[in-house]
C-alpha cells in the first residue's frame, strides 16, 4: 500500500493534528488539470495535498483539501463507526494518555473511552479532522 487519502476541510489544521500524532509532512502539491479530472472522475478538479509519513517510514497518509468541486458532505454530522466503507485509521502510540491530551488541543473527541484489550493493548477511538475516526493503540504487554 502506498497511502490512504483523507479529505479535509482545513488542511493546515489537519496537518497540525497529524503532526501532533507523530507523523511528519513529506511533501505537498497542487493537483489540477485534465489528467487529474480524468483520473478522479471530477471535472474542474483543483485540490491541495500534503503527504504525511509515519515515524517508522512505512506508512503515508495523504491529506486532501478540495477547492473545486466543493467537497460533498460538508456540514453533515459525521457518520458513526459502523457506517459501511472506510472504517478508521489506527496508529500505534507510546503513551495513549499523552497523545489524547495533545490531540484534544485540536478538538479531537473520544467516541467512547480508553479500554484495555487483554494484556496486550490500551485502545480508543476518537474523532479527528473532518470527522474521521482515528484509533490509537498503546502496547502494554
CATH code for the domain of 97: 3.10.180.10
| Band of residue 78 on the pLDDT scale cut at 50, 70, 90 | confident
Same domain, 48 and 93: no
Considering the chain, what percentage of its residues have pLDDT values greater than 90?
82
Predicted confidence (pLDDT) per residue in 11-54, tens digit: 999 999 999 999 999 999 999 999 999 999 999 999 999 999 99
138: closest CA among 126, 16, 119?
119
Instruction: Print the domain residue range for 118.
Output: 89-139
Same domain, 10 and 60: yes
Task: Give me the chain's average pLDDT, please.
Answer: 93
Contact (Cβ atoms closer than 8 angstroms) between residue 104 and residue 48: no
Same domain, 8 and 63: yes
**Host H or E run for residue 67:** strand 60-68
In a domain, 73, yes or no: no
Q: What is the model's pTM?
A: 0.90
In a domain, 115, yes or no: yes
Which residues, in sequence order, are CB contacts of 99 under 8 Å at separation 6+? 21, 22, 93, 136
Same domain, 11 and 60: yes
**Structural domain total, the chain:** 2
Same domain, 48 and 104: no
Same domain, 64 and 95: no
In a domain, 101, yes or no: yes
In a domain, 10, yes or no: yes
Same domain, 56 and 101: no
Does pLDDT of 68 surpass 70? yes
Residue range 48-63: mean pLDDT, rounded = 95
Same domain, 16 and 59: yes
Q: What is the pLDDT of residue 74?
A: 67
Residue range 66-78: mean pLDDT, rounded = 83
Does pLDDT of 65 surpass 90? yes
In a domain, 81, yes or no: no
Amino acid at each position: 500500500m502506498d497511502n490512504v487519502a483523507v479529505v479535509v476541510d482545513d488542511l493546515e489544521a489537519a496537518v497540525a493534528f497529524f503532526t501532533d500524532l507523530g507523523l511528519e509532512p513529506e511533501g505537498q502539491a497542487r493537483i489540477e488539470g485534465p489528467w487529474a479530472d480524468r483520473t478522479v472522475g471530477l471535472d474542474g478538479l483543483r485540490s491541495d495535498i500534503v503527504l504525511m509519513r509515519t515515524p517508522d517510514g512505512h506508512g503515508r497518509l495523504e491529506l486532501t483539501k478540495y477547492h473545486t468541486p466543493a467537497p460533498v458532505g460538508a456540514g453533515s454530522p459525521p457518520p458513526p463507526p459502523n457506517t459501511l466503507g472506510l472504517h478508521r485509521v489506527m496508529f500505534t502510540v507510546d503513551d495513549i494518555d499523552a497523545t489524547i491530551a495533545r490531540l484534544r488541543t485540536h478538538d479531537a473527541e473520544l467516541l467512547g473511552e480508553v479500554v484495555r484489550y487483554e494484556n496486550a493493548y490500551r485502545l480508543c477511538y476518537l474523532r479527528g479532522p473532518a470527522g474521521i475516526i482515528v484509533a490509537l493503540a498503546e502496547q502494554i504487554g
